[in-house]
């Protein structure tokens, strides 16, 4: 049973790939994604049992050395997070929109998980660093009060303080904006 998600973010593509290899060799985990991102960063995301994910991330951190930007382990990851990272979330209708920007890709994943656990919202996308200068953003949808609660819960997380940029809640997005992001 995959109940945890782990991620490392490095400032080096070669050492990021090296760290990803170490992560997969260290424990029985599934690779969710590994990719270069803007500003010469590299991210590796794995899923698995909590202990295995922790071991995997520790191995990745050790291999990344001084190029490590951030690393996370999220036990009990919400089921919407992985599909939203892959921009594969299926959204039937868009209510209010919440958009959160972060300076760390790990902070975006933490924020997305906290938001979807805090309120009845749907993750639309967790965009990690491609074409964003190393930034990331989260888009979610739901009733206005739920979206506001989700965004505030994510902003209030101690683990992401100083890593979040702007956040907005759009109560009634224009139809063309909703179509553009879904």
Confidence at residue 1, expressed as pLDDT on a 0 to 100 scale: 52
Confidence at residue 92, expressed as pLDDT on a 0 to 100 scale: 67
Residue 70 reports pLDDT greater than 70: yes
For the residues of 29-89, what is the DSSP string, one character each?
A: -EEEEEEEEGGGEEEEEEEE-HHHHHHHHHHHHHHHGGGEEEEEEEET--TTHHHHHTT--
Q: What is the dihedral of CA 25, 21, 59, 155, to 10 degrees?
A: -120
Q: Which residues of 39-56 are buried (b: 16+ CB within 10 A; e: fewer)?
A: eebbbbbbbbbbebbbbb
Residue 2 reports pLDDT greater than 70: no
pLDDT band at residue 90 under the 50/70/90 scheme: low
Confidence at residue 111, expressed as pLDDT on a 0 to 100 scale: 97
pLDDT band at residue 180 under the 50/70/90 scheme: confident
Domains of the chain plus CATH, in order, are: 4-75 (3.30.70.1710), 81-181 (3.30.70.1710)
């Amino acid at each position: 049973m995959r109940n945890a998600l782990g991620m490392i973010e490095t400032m080096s593509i070669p050492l990021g790939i090296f760290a990803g290899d170490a992560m997969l060799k260290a424990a029985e985990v599934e690779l969710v994604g590994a990719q270069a991102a803007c500003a010469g960063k590299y991210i590796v995301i794995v899923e698995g049992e909590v202990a295995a994910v922790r071991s995997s991330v520790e191995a990745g951190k050790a291999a990344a050395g001084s190029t490590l930007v951030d690393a996370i382990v999220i036990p009990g990851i919400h089921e919407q997070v992985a599909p939203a990272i892959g921009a594969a979330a299926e959204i039937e209708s868009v209510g209010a929109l919440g958009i959160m920007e972060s300076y760390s890709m790990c902070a975006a994943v933490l924020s997305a998980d906290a938001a979807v656990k805090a309120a009845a919202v749907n993750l639309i996308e967790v965009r990690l660093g491609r074409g964003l200068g190393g930034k990331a953003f989260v888009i979610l949808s739901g009733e206005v009060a739920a979206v506001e609660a989700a965004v505030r819960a994510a902003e209030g997380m101690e683990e992401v303080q100083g890593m979040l940029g702007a956040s907005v809640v759009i109560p009634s997005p224009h139809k063309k904006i909703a179509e553009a992001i879904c």
